[in-house]
Structure 1
Amino acid sequence: MKKFDIRNIRVRKVSVDDLDDRMLLINLYATQAFTFIIGLVWVLFQHQNLFHMFTPPKELSFVYWGAGLAAAVILVDLLISRFVPEEAADDGGVNDRIFRKRPVWHIAVISLVVAICEELLFRGAIQHAIGPYWTSIIFATIHVRYLKHWIPTGLVFSISYGLGWIYMQSGSILAPIIAHFLIDFIMGLIIRFRRES
């Protein structure tokens, strides 16, 4: 049996174009699982009640907060894409690679997984500890593919702050989860069917 030597491990930079579709999905789901685990552990260390956090309130206002923010974000994004050159909003082709060949059901699954995992960590855990402003800075920073251009970076920061704001206004983490899901799902459908046509 060959002996394992840690000095033989080599790290190299990989672009999204170097990944095949299978590896891209594995990377996406592994990242979300990691995000979920960190969020779950952090929430438990904060002594928050996870079941209470995900229990829908009696009033449906959280749905309106989520859908309203999603509609506003999609409208702003469509206006930006209409008037701003494509290279100024370039994310390196990641979203295009993720959504362009997916069936609608898979776009919905990806959007739901990302919404739950990221909102548990960012709104449920981090915002609970440091507030919406610094949470939004961290959120924008981890979406590193947008940092090359100020427009998508500002948009990601603004979306994150909006998600934090509706979380505080509605009192339910379900509001930002709904908004995050709808934003990703609708933008995924736009990418999917724009590329198809």
Structure 2
Amino acid sequence: MKKFDIRKIRIRKVSVDELDDRMLLINLYATQAFTFIIGIIWVLFQHQNIIRLFSIPKELAFLWWGIGLAAAVIAVDLLIARWVPDEANDDGGVNDRIFRSRPVWHIALISFVVAVCEELLFRGAVQQAIGPYWTSIIFAAIHVRYLKHWIPTGLVFSISYGLGWIYIQSGSLWAAIIAHFLIDFIMGLIIRFRRES
């Protein structure tokens, strides 16, 4: 049996165009699993009750907070797409690669997994420690593919702050999860069914 030599491992920067579809999905789901695990650990270190954090409130106000924020974000994003040149709004083609050829059920699954994992970490854990403003700065920095252009960076920061705000107003993590899911799902559908000009 051949011995494994850790010194032979080489790390290099890879662009999204170099990844095949399988590796792109593995990267996406592995990143979300890592985010979820860090979120759970952080929540437990804060002595929060994870079951209470994910409990669904009896009143439906949290639902309207999530739907309302998602509608506002999608409206703003569509206006930006209409009036701002594509090169100022470019994410390096990542979203296009993720959503362009996916079936609708897979777009929904990806959107749900991302919403739950990221909201657990950022709203459920990080925001509890440092508040919505600094959480939004970290959230924008984590979405590194947008940092080359100020418009998408500002939009990601604003969305994150909005998610933090509706979490505080509604008192439910589900408000932020619903908003995050709807934003990603609807934007994924727009990418999937967009006609090329």
Does TM-score exceed 0.5, indicating one fold? yes
Instruction: Check conservation: 1:35, 1:121, Cα contact below 8 A.
Output: yes
Cα separation, 2, equivalents of 1:52 and 1:81: 39
TM-score, normalized by length of structure 1? 0.98
1:155 matched residue in structure 2: 155
Cα separation, 1, equivalents of 2:15 and 2:185: 24
2:62 matched residue in structure 1: 62
Deviations 1:135-178 (A, max 9, x none): 00000000000000000000000000000000000000000000
Instruction: Please list every run of at least 4 consecutive aligned residues from structure 1 whose deviation after the TM superposition is greater than 4 angstroms.
Output: none
Deviations 1:83-107 (A, max 9, x none): 0000000000000000000000000
Kindly report which structure 2 residues correspond to 1:1-197, keeping only aligned pairs within 5 A, or say none. 1-195=1-195
Cα separation, 1, equivalents of 2:40 and 2:61: 25
Q: Which runs of 5+ in 2 are unaligned?
A: none
Cα separation, 2, equivalents of 1:33 and 1:9: 23
3-state SS in 2 of match to 1:13:
coil
1:2 Cα shift? Answer: 2.9
Instruction: Check conservation: 1:42, 1:125, Cα contact below 8 A.
Output: yes
1:12 Cα shift? Answer: 1.0
TM-score, normalized by length of structure 2? 0.98
Compute the RMSD of aligned alpha carbons: 1.1
